[in-house]
Amino acid sequence: MSKMHVTTTINGEPVEFLADVSSTLLDALRGSLGLTGTKEGCGTGDCGACSVTVDGRLMCSCLMLAVEAEGKSIGTIEGMAQGDHLHPLQQKFLEMAALQCGICTPGVLISARALLEKNPDPTEEEVRFGLAGNLCRCTGYDKIVRAVLETAADMRESAR
Amino acid sequence: MTDIRYLAPNTLDEAVSAFAAASGAASILAGGTDLLVQMRAGVRKPGTIIDIKKIPALTAIEDLGGGAFRIGAAVSGAVLAEHMGFAKAWPGVLEAINLIGSKQVQGRASPGGNLCNSSPAGDSVPAMVAAGAVVTIQGPNGKREVPVEAVPAGPGRTTLAPGEIVVSFTFPVRPKGASDAYLRMIPRTEMDIAVVGLGVNLTMEGGVVKAARVGLGAVAPTVLLVEGAAKALIGSRLEDAAVEAAAAACRAACKPIDDKRGTIAYRTKVAGVLLKRVVAIAAARAGGN
């Protein structure tokens, strides 16, 4: 009887689901909601694989109860591309092979988008700080950072 | 699995009543960056979770004028960082709060949670001690106000009575020529726990220190207010001898442990080194006001 009814918005779509009080937003996304693009790494807020946005703000979905999603607007990796049209970060990550095993990639992309929304012209150091909460166990950081910097440059160019 | 109840009251009175009624079986949820990890590890098994983020006083940032602020205990670091007025008045407090975890953690973690988790190495606490911030606490017996340094009782323990909730932090009026700074020593540059953390709050007038407070973390069971260091600084022009005397007071205040992050000897030495560095930053900021 501990399940609670949650009404929320995920990637712009109204969603209702039932959640155990003790389950995290990550559990709900990957479980009953079937949105498995958000990954579980450490489950303790250290690795960033479960990164999502909540009302536009970057968070770890493993550090938030599913019931806290009530009335919020959640953004996951599934909402990053518009249909077949990839987000510039996704396109650039493919072009530059800025991933190895890929487990960290959804979280890195969500974090990188949040970073570029706040800072469209970051330095390399700012990118590294901005992504410090996203661990890549393959240690593929260099290509990730370069892809984010190149995407930022492209997006600034196309915004002119 | 036992049933857990989740409550998200809209008023402080409801939260206090529910918290008191649960008589120890409830946990307060602000950002959850400690609570959810502790629940996952089985260290905490609350029967009721009381989410305090729907209570306006817990998430408000109030500019009281003259550099004074009241910050809700559940305000996240990311939200506070976007308040330009607070950053200008209390840069040291803000840099300390913003050192807690990654951008993701900043989206949730709050100064109230950092204080109540009562880690000796909590980054925001030494800075708030140095700032002279006052904690407003609401409980079954009403409201009380205490200085930040009166809340931690030891690792993971506070002086809060059963049913009491930390509501807000009040930062005092800023005189002209006042500023603050915080530094922590960690083996890497980001995402680590302090080996030593130190906050300094200075008021300067014509190059002379008129008021000073020093908060020191990660070197004792609780964060410390180092009054000896403040005494050494007050009345000085931050001459080498005065700053060295303040550093010596910080070293003398240390009662650290040996652990994987640092030895007793290292932590003690670093406390003095940080005092000098943080005083220099705070003085430069105070002079720039």
Q: Tokens standing for A128?
A: 């590294």
Q: Are residues B189 and B126 in the same domain?
A: no
Choose the final residue of a domain: B151, B171, B191.
Answer: B171
Spell out a b/e string for B47-70, using b for 16 or more CB atoms within 10 Å of the CB, else e.
ebbbbbbbbebbbebeeeeebebb
**B72 touching A (Cβ < 8 Å):** no
pLDDT digits (tens, 9 = 90+) for A41-91: 999 999 999 999 999 999 999 999 999 999 999 999 999 999 999 999 999
Q: Are residues B19 and B93 in the same domain?
A: no
Instruction: Work out the mean pLDDT of chain A and round it to a whole number.
Output: 96
Q: How far is CA A117 from CA A54, A110, A123, B106, B245, in A?
A: 14, 11, 14, 16, 47
Rounded to the nearest angstrom, the minimum Cα separation between A58 and chain B is 5
Q: Are residues B25 and B114 in the same domain?
A: no
Number of domains observed in the structure of chain B: 3
Q: Are residues B243 and B165 in the same domain?
A: no
Q: Are residues B60 and B167 in the same domain?
A: yes
Option in B3, B5, B105 nearest A45 (CB): B105
Choose the final residue of a domain: B171, B195, B214.
Answer: B171
For the segment A13-31, the average pLDDT, to the nearest whole number, is 97
Instruction: Work out the mean pLDDT of chain B and round it to a whole number.
Output: 96
Q: Are residues B93 and B153 in the same domain?
A: yes
Burial of B166 (0-12, 13-18, 19+ CB in 10 A): buried
**A86 touching B (Cβ < 8 Å):** no
Q: Tokens standing for B266?
A: 């290292």
Q: Do B32 and A114 touch (CB under 8 A)?
A: no
pLDDT surpassing 90 at residue B2: no
pLDDT surpassing 80 at residue B60: yes
Q: What CATH code is carried by the domain that includes residue B143?
A: 3.30.465.10
The whole-angstrom distance between residue B212's C-alpha and the CA centroid of its chain comes to: 17
User: Which amino acid type is present at position A160?
Assistant: R
Counts of helices then strands in chain B (DSSP H, E):
12, 14
Q: Are residues B182 and B219 in the same domain?
A: yes
| Distance in angstroms (rounded) separating the CA atoms of residues A109 and A67 | 25
Q: Tokens standing for A45?
A: 């807020």
Over the Cα atoms of chain B, what is R_g?
A: 19
Chain B CA closest to residue A22: B4
| Distance in angstroms (rounded) separating the CA atoms of residues A74 and B33 | 18
Q: Are residues B145 and B233 in the same domain?
A: no
- Three-state SS for A70? coil
Spell out a b/e string for B197-233, using b for 16 or more CB atoms within 10 Å of the CB, else e.
bbbbbbbbeeeebebbbbbbbbbbbbbbbbeebbbbb
pLDDT digits (tens, 9 = 90+) for B222-233: 999 999 999 999
pLDDT surpassing 80 at residue B189: no
Strands (DSSP E) found in B99-252: 134-139, 142-147, 152-154, 157-158, 165-171, 178-185, 196-205, 208-217, 224-225
The whole-angstrom distance between residue B80's C-alpha and the CA centroid of its chain comes to: 14
Q: Tokens standing for A24?
A: 């995290």
Q: Are residues B128 and B154 in the same domain?
A: yes
Strands (DSSP E) found in chain A: 3-10, 13-20, 51-54, 57-60, 73-75
Chain A residues inside the 8 Å CB shell of B51: 65, 68
Chain B residues inside the 8 Å CB shell of A45: 33, 36-37, 101-102, 104-105
Chain A residues inside the 8 Å CB shell of B8: 68, 70
State the maximum Cα–Cα separation within chain A, in Å, rounded to a whole number: 55
Q: What CATH code is carried by the domain that includes residue B10?
A: 3.30.43.10
Among the listed residues A63, A149, A71, A59, the one whose alpha carbon sits nearest the alpha carbon of residue A111: A59
| Distance in angstroms (rounded) separating the CA atoms of residues A21 and B14 | 19
Q: Are residues B166 and B62 in the same domain?
A: yes
Q: Tokens standing for B100?
A: 């807690």
**A8 touching B (Cβ < 8 Å):** no
Residue B289: what pLDDT? 44
Choose the final residue of a domain: B171, B195, B218.
Answer: B171
Contacts of B115 (CB under 8 A, 6+ apart): B73, B122, B124, B125, B128, B135, B148, B151, B152, B158, B166
**B1 touching A (Cβ < 8 Å):** yes
Burial of B283 (0-12, 13-18, 19+ CB in 10 A): buried
Q: Are residues B161 and B221 in the same domain?
A: no
Query: Domain containing B242: what range?
Result: 178-287
What is the DSSP secondary structure assignment for residue A61, as one 8-state letter? G
Option in B8, B33, B191 nearest A63 (CB): B33
Structural domains of chain A, ranges and CATH numbers in brackets: 3-79 (3.10.20.30), 88-159 (1.10.150.120)
| pLDDT band of B51, cuts 50, 70, 90 | very high
Q: What CATH code is carried by the domain that includes residue B242?
A: 3.30.390.50
Q: Are residues B164 and B188 in the same domain?
A: no
| DSSP H/E element including B241 | helix B240-253
Q: Which of B93-97, B104-108, B189-193 has the lowest mean pLDDT?
A: B189-193
